[in-house]
Chain A
């Protein structure tokens, strides 16, 4: 049984982490919105629906100043949404994601969570229902759901390579899988085929560390997975480079062909690049598929 004090400490630690993750995710989401507005491009539900009085929780940016300037009441212009979509997220919490090759780069898991949560914020703000795959957090609307998501994202999984959760998929929903996809490919295939069976489409975002791409190792080395379940010893790491990269490319090809077969989209993200690029890609990937 967990000691209350320990629980409290844990809770506080988690709580301390949440706002940080949230804040960063909000900021990330804000940049995307700003970008969309500035370009005056069609987005999710461009059509006018109604002006509603501004409520607590609306950011100033959401105010419609043209309408609000006519009177003393501030209004928010809401757009029309024909169908509220359901988007399910799966962010890999496995130990393999807790890796960074250099202090300059974020951990993969850190990046994956941030992108996932930012996506969720965008979707919630857009009026979609967001949840996790599986039964742990069913899709809902509203800001409270974002807090819940943040809390779920803060739970590390002790396993080395997590498998995509594919249970309780809601038919014809959208799904986003963020992972390094270094684990068992069969699980991914199973998840995707199952999703395709239910008419669920979505995007795979592969988050990799630069060193996993370039394999800059030399000499006699013992490679270990993060949790230590798998290890491999080599005498000349440099010799393995090309073969490793071949295998990585093969894995990616496999993912790509899987996506083609199931109508999903495959994106790549390296932790050395800014997260915004990945977020925009993901946003457009869903945008394209939600219409």
Chain B
């Protein structure tokens, strides 16, 4: 293929004939149009009349130009022009496609595959054998014909891990086993990794190496951490290129159990910055619900970070000293703690020794002075291992001898006997207020309310260590809260009671904030690798490369240290791992890790961008242009020769054509009008996907189905409507037909809220992946994968393939299968309740009451239903009579579908069983 000015020509020598055009010009120019002979008696009156211009016996220049252009269009069209021709991959030998296929390439994976497809097609034209190699899962490449391998390449998937040293070693070994030379196209994800250079050298030795990589930065999220009560999510990118505004979504389940976006945060990465933090200031309640963070619009495993126990609700064990005074709620030492902690933590109550094995994050001892030796030892061990022991003073503590002479190991300070009372009836002085918090105090920054008064407290003995342990004082300087660390844990003592007996502190909001600060600083830390030695972790859910969570299935467990330290691979996939009660998330980017640096290629390697300019063949268009020009030439020549119909006739024909045009639909209709019209009539609706061809077919399909319903049943629908999920109200439509395209945008959170409300209020969505011809038998196409993404946020019950006795098989017609344009896949509906059983003598089980909210299939029903406005079928179905039979069956399915939506389980009624049995013929 020769390329001239960006356009390639298949047979460029044909362009030489363009040189003949000037000759043609001269020839055509000399020939005037042939005259018409007319009988005309009035000719005598014409005798002697001269024509004004003498030059008109030559063809007019514009007619000449028209003809020359037509001929030129024919010549160029036959020369096979191709716009954006794919540059020839030189050489004739085998071609190896190498994919990084890591998570970094997931956001533009479809582009990568499209590029690869073009490379394979090109190789197929040149007759070169092709093989592929995925570096994240290397296998020995096998060279096959391009046709044979095209399907396999189209189905390649990236993996959720990055290429590692081991994997490249495997890849090099696989390449070594290949014989002969081959050229390579390396579809790089744009990131550097260990062993890349080795692999590069190996490939370069085998033949020419061309690299195709995406120039956009790769984005990643590091695990979220909690700092000062706020959640920080570090955002990284591989290239400090330009300013990027990124949005992080915190996903989780709301109290109703529905997955939704709980919070969003923004960060701006200025040019030159590789990283930034998204700060999400969330109530603890909400924070505890977060399961994952993800970058908006980035479909990759790296742009997702899973939250594990680190953000979980903490478990707090409450132990009170006085359990004997039943009924005095407000005097209970734990009442205010209960109120303060309830929203943010799971509270445990019970005997201390029973609670400690549950490994609570915090143990609260309210006015507990003495513990048994066993309790004390267990508690001390627990604190040493990182627990937070929160103690409150009280009458008992004040009257006990605990920590009197020597500091008790579970008390931060020594106490003076008896405590003190200020501002009481029998004492001098005023009740004391709180002093502002020190800078070193964990409470620093909290606003101290003046209204808080302390009337009694236990007093700390002055000790050399006292000053460093005080974290809050009264206005007279006496310690109010003290703290000491014990190994990894800490012990905090409030020198007042946990109820309002001694102070008004528990009544104030400050109390809650102080508790929060304390609880926050004690959040469960990520364990070190050594601590996990000997534990075995089983994967619960794993991330795929696109950042979606999948059930882990039968993946093997991993050793604790490996979970922390090993690099991700097939054996250790990112996801959520569980051991006993504990859950740990292994993210693509670990704590403190950043997105790897971009790959650097030597100068001698050709690096192409991943820009997909489609090869467009221009030949057909040019030949059509030539045909149009020649048709114009005919008209023009006729006009010149005076044989054209009089203009008057043409004008009237045009007028007639205008009259027969459909009336202008652009009459402005208000939303209220539309709503009123839709609400008063039955309208079938389809979801607008943004792909005009698909939308047209869907609309035509709905029209065809509406007509069929009109003719055959008492349902008389109006013209179908296209529904924009973002804007339109859904409540008017009993049925939404949703054709799935691989590149349709995911609706916004609001749209999903609307869809879920629609489903709950009895609406039905028919998902059609339209790939029944290629999918099935365990294979999924891009449409099915897209469907998973689209349907994930929807409130969909468990599904099952349509059972033989489902009401859908007999709402109007008796049907066995549900073909559309394809007769392939199973159709899925809401699963029958597990207790549905067949009763003897009844042909049908008594299944779920109501209408299945979704129907999922891939048979491309709309295409089978689609009719043009004059009632002809738009698309062929099958072949011959059996094809028409299939279309009929598709229409019957549509009728049954709408009947099912409108009548629910009516046909499940036992009343009809005898008649149905009769008709079934037994």
Residues of A near any B CB (own CB < 8 A): 96-97, 99, 108, 161, 180, 182-183, 209, 211-212, 215-226, 230-240, 243-244, 247-248, 251
Contact = CB atoms under 8 A, between A and B. Distances in A.
A238 B642 contact: yes
A215 B46 CA distance: 11
B680 interface: no
B449 to A, nearest CB: 102
Contacts of B674: none
Of B34, B36, B643, most A-chain CB atoms within 10 Å: B36
Contact of A225 (B36, B44, B643): B44
B49 A234 contact: yes
Contacts of B39: 99, 223-226
Interface string B44-70: 111101011100110000000000000
Interface in B359-376: none
A236 B51 contact: yes
Contacts of B642: 217-221, 237-238
B56 to A, nearest CB: 5
A236 B56 contact: yes
Give chain B's interface residue range (CB within 8 Å of chain A): 20 to 34
B641 interface: yes
Nearest to A246: B45
A212 B42 contact: yes
B34 A220 contact: yes
A235 B41 contact: no
Contact of B37 (A96, A97, A224, A247): A224
Nearest to B36: A221
A224 B34 contact: no
Interface string B121-134: 00000000000000
A247 B45 contact: yes
Interface of B: 32-47, 49, 51-53, 56-57, 639-644, 646
Contacts of A233: 35
A240 B42 contact: no
B46 A240 contact: yes
B51 A223 contact: no
Contacts of B49: 232, 234, 240, 243-244
B56 A225 contact: no
B52 to A, nearest CB: 6
Given A243-B49, A244-B42, 8 more contacts: A212-B40, A216-B646, A219-B643, A220-B641, A224-B37, A232-B49, A235-B32, A248-B45
A226 B41 CA distance: 6
12 contacts: A219-B33, A219-B640, A221-B36, A222-B35, A224-B40, A225-B40, A225-B43, A230-B43, A240-B51, A244-B42, A244-B45, A251-B45
A240 to B, nearest CB: 5
Contact of A239 (B35, B44, B51): B51
Given A220-B33, A220-B34, A180 B641 contact: no
Contact of B41 (A217, A220, A225, A247): A225
Contacts of B45: 182, 244, 247-248, 251
A234 B46 contact: yes
A182 B44 contact: yes
Contacts of B35: 220-222, 233
Nearest to B50: A234
B636 to A, nearest CB: 11
A224 B641 contact: no
A40 B52 CA distance: 58
Nearest to A161: B44
Given A226-B41, A233-B35, A219 B641 contact: yes
Contacts of A244: 42, 45-46, 49
Contacts of A236: 51-53, 56
Of B42, B640, B642, B646, most A-chain CB atoms within 10 Å: B42
A238 B566 CA distance: 93
Contact of A212 (B36, B41, B56): B41
Nearest to A243: B49
Contacts of B639: 218-219
A248 B43 contact: no
Contacts of B51: 234-236, 239-240
B41 A221 contact: no
A218 to B, nearest CB: 3
A232 B46 contact: yes
A255 to B, nearest CB: 13
Contacts of B43: 223-225, 230-232
Contacts of B57: 220, 235
B55 to A, nearest CB: 10
Of B43, B57, B640, most A-chain CB atoms within 10 Å: B43
The 10 closest A-B pairs by CB, nearest first: A219-B642, A218-B642, A96-B41, A219-B641, A223-B43, A220-B35, A247-B45, A223-B40, A212-B42, A232-B46
Nearest to A218: B642
Contacts of A230: 43-44, 47
B38 A224 contact: yes
Contacts of A161: 44
Contacts of A221: 35-38, 642
A220 B52 contact: no
A276 B385 CA distance: 127
Nearest to B48: A232
A235 B55 CA distance: 10
A239 B50 CA distance: 10
A217 B33 contact: no
Nearest to B51: A235
B56 A222 contact: no
A234 B39 CA distance: 14
A220 B39 CA distance: 14
A178 to B, nearest CB: 15
Contacts of A99: 39-41
Contacts of A182: 41-42, 44-45
Contacts of B641: 218-220
B14 to A, nearest CB: 36
A180 B45 CA distance: 12
A79 to B, nearest CB: 42
Nearest to A99: B41
A232 B50 CA distance: 10
A32 to B, nearest CB: 28
B444 to A, nearest CB: 99
Nearest to A100: B39
A239 B41 CA distance: 18
A80 to B, nearest CB: 45
Nearest to A251: B45
A236 B41 CA distance: 18
Nearest to A224: B39
B30 to A, nearest CB: 15
Contacts of A251: 45
Nearest to B47: A232
A16 to B, nearest CB: 26
A224 to B, nearest CB: 6
B57 to A, nearest CB: 6
Contacts of B32: 220, 235
Nearest to B643: A219
A124 B211 CA distance: 110
B686 to A, nearest CB: 53
Contact of A180 (B34, B41, B646): B41
Nearest to B55: A235
A215 B52 contact: no
Contacts of B44: 161, 182-183, 225, 230
Contacts of B36: 219-222
A231 B52 CA distance: 19
A19 B646 CA distance: 39
Contacts of B646: 216
A231 B39 CA distance: 9
Contacts of B33: 219-220
B609 to A, nearest CB: 58
Contacts of B47: 230, 232
A121 B668 CA distance: 71
A24 B34 CA distance: 43
A216 B649 CA distance: 13
